[in-house]
């Protein structure tokens, strides 16, 4: 197969083309687009969204819907901020504990889902409320502003247009891709999502894998929260409040199968690039920011429609 042929059979080729067109259009229409500062801004907004998208992607991989991605993120954000500001813990420790909270939250979601047999959607709808409640109860809606300077600095430092903040998401993306494509637990995860009954018959510990997926999702929520905190320079209790739609949008636009078993790190990442580019374009064009919400909804619907269309074509073949 020629390189071109191989490119076009990839599921994300349409996305890549759309992005290329978008980049070209933006650079042509707006001189501000290709400046170093603007690219830096774009890459920065990319960071948190990418990790959040991955958090949802993992639960989608096992066929579950996770509504607690944002709420858990918010909780971790204020926990980490509170530990650094109020308890004076060193950054490293606070971050570590924050990640542990994320994993714990995820494990809670996973256990509740498998032990009770309740739909993951309802479980996470409930736990999201619980996490938000704890969040608001502890902070009383007041952010933590006095974060350690080196932490805040990390969120701002850059190497030309590349923010330091980009490093964790990129590492996460690579690890995740490796995990899903080449490790046994990763393959088991996709097997459980692809055909839970068959996976069980093959001796895969279905319940444990679902809990693992939720745990990893929680971990990524936590990573996203910490990155957002560094980006903002303060621990806002509202972190995560607007994560829900984008967390689903990116994996779905990236072709994730809603029933599970099929996700793509690359396609999800490209979808995030697309959304971030659209957002940036809107800002540069001084368009109403409300258009983003509208377009996000439209994008999801188109992506879903397209996936169905493709699935029907395959069925007919």
Partner 1 sequence: MIASVDMGSSFRLKAWLAEQSNAIGLAGIVLLFWIVFASLAPGFISPFNLFAMSRTLAIDTVIGFSTMVVLATGGMNLAIGAIGVCSVMFAGYLMQVLSLPGPVALAGGLALGSLLGWINGFAIVRTGVNSFIITLASASLFNGGMLILTKAVIFNGLPPTIAEFGRMRWDVVSPLLLVALLIGSALIVLFRLTALGREILAAGANARAAELSGVPVGRAIVIAHTLSGLLAASAGLMLLSRLGAAMPSVGQDWLLPSFLAPVLGGALLSGGSVSVVGAMIGALLVTTIRSGLLILQVGNFWLQLFLGVMLLLAVLLDRYRAVYAERRSLGRRI
Partner 2 sequence: MDLAIEAVGKHFPGVVALDDVSFEIRPGEIHALMGENGAGKSTLIKIITGLYQPDGGRLLIDNKESRFASPRDAIGAGVSAVHQERNLIPRFSVGENIMLENLPTRRRLVDYEAVHAQARRFLDLIDPSIDTRAEVRRLSVAQMQIVEIAKALSLEAGVLLLDEPTASITDHEAQALFAVLRHLRSEGKAIVFVSHKLEEVIALSDRVTVLRDGKVAAAGEPIARMSRSRIVSAMIGREERTAEIGARNAVGGVPALEVSGLTTSLGHREVSFTLRQGEILGLYGLVGSGRTELARALMGDARILAGEIRLRGEPIFVTDTPTAIRRYRMGYVSEDRKSEGLILADSIRANIAITVWRSIASGLGLLTRRAEERVAEPLARRLDIRTPSLDQQVGKLSGGNQQKVSIAKWLAAGVDILIIDEPTVGIDIKTKAAIHELIAEITRGGVSVLLISSDMPEMITLADRILIMRDFVLVGEIENERRYETMSRRIMGFIHGEIDMVDAKGQAEANHG
- Tell me which residues touch partner 2 (CB under 8 A): 178, 182-184, 187, 190-191, 194-195, 197-205, 257, 261-262, 314, 316
Within 199-228, the residues that bind partner 1 by CB under 8 A are none
Q: Which tokens belong to 167?
A: 């490093």
- Please identify which residue in 29, 93, 198, 258 interacts with partner 1, judged by CB under 8 A: 258
Measured from the CB atom, the residue of 75 and 232 that comes closer to partner 1 is 75
Going by C-alpha positions, the residue among 69, 24, 63 that lies closest to residue 48 is 69
- Please identify which residue in 127, 221, 279, 280 interacts with partner 1, judged by CB under 8 A: 127
How does DSSP classify residue 235? B
Measured from the CB atom, the residue of 196 and 281 that comes closer to partner 2 is 196
Measured from the CB atom, the residue of 131 and 188 that comes closer to partner 1 is 131
Smallest distance from partner 2 to CB 195, Å: 5
Under rule CB under 8 A, residue 300 binds partner 1: yes
- x/- letters, 135..164, toward partner 1 (CB under 8 A): -xx--xx-----------------------
Q: Helix (H, G, I), strand (E, B), or coil: what is residue 144?
A: strand
CA 317 to chain centre: 34
* Whole-number Å distance between alpha carbons of 261 and 195: 7
Q: Which stretch binds partner 1 (CB under 8 A): 112-120, 149-157, 211-219, 223-231?
A: 112-120
Q: Where are the beta strands (DSSP E) in the chain?
A: 158-159, 162-163
The residues, any chain, with a CB within 8 Å of residue 203's CB and separated by 6 or more, are: none
Q: Which does 121 bind (CB under 5 to 8 A by kind): partner 1, partner 2, none?
A: partner 1
CA 276 to chain centre: 13
Instruction: Indicate if the alpha-carbon torsion angle 192, 197, 200, 201 is positive or negative.
Output: negative
Q: With contacts defined by CB under 8 A, how many residues of the chain interact with partner 1?
A: 44
Q: Helix (H, G, I), strand (E, B), or coil: what is residue 158?
A: strand
Q: Which does 194 bind (CB under 5 to 8 A by kind): partner 2, partner 1, none?
A: partner 2
- Please identify which residue in 27, 34, 93, 133 interacts with partner 1, judged by CB under 8 A: 133
Give the C-alpha distances (Å, rounded to integers) separating 308 from 77, 97, 162, 270: 37, 42, 37, 20
Going by C-alpha positions, the residue among 50, 18, 17 that lies closest to residue 295 is 18
Q: Which residues bind partner 1 (CB under 8 A)?
A: 65, 112, 116-119, 121-123, 125-134, 136-137, 140-141, 244-245, 248-249, 252, 258, 288, 290-298, 300-301, 304-305, 308
């Amino acid at each position: 197969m020629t390189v071109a042929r191989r490119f076009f059979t990839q599921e994300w080729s349409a996305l890549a083309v759309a992005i290329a067109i978008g980049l070209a259009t933006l650079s042509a229409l707006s001189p501000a687009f290709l400046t170093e500062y603007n690219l830096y801004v774009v890459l920065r907004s990319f960071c948190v969204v990418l990790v959040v998208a991955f958090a949802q992607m993992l639960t989608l991989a096992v066929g579950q819907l996770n509504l607690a991605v944002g709420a858990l993120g918010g909780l971790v954000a204020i926990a980490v901020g509170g530990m650094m500001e109020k308890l004076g813990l060193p950054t490293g420790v606070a971050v570590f504990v924050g990640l542990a909270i994320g994993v714990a939250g995820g494990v809670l979601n996973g256990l509740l889902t498998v032990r009770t047999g309740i739909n993951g959607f309802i479980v996470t709808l409930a736990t999201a409320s619980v996490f938000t409640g704890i969040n608001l109860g502890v902070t009383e809606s007041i952010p933590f502003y006095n974060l350690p300077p080196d932490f805040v600095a990390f969120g701002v430092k850059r190497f030309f247009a590349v923010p330091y903040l980009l490093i964790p998401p990129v590492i996460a993306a690579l690890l995740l891709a490796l995990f899903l494509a080449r490790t046994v637990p990763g393959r088991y995860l996709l097997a459980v999502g692809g055909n839970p009954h068959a996976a069980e018959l093959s001796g895969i510990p279905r319940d444990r894998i679902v809990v693992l997926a939720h745990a990893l999702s929680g971990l990524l929520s936590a990573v996203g929260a910490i990155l957002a905190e560094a980006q903002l320079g303060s621990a806002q209790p509202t972190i995560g409040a607007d994560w829900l739609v984008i967390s689903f949008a990116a994996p779905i636009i990236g072709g994730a199968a809603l029933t599970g078993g099929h996700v793509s790190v690359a396609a999800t990442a490209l979808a995030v690039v697309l959304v971030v580019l659209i957002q940036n374009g809107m800002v540069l064009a001084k368009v109403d920011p409300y258009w983003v919400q509208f377009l996000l909804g439209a994008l999801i619907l188109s992506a879903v429609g397209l996936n169905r269309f493709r699935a029907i074509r395959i069925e007919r073949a």
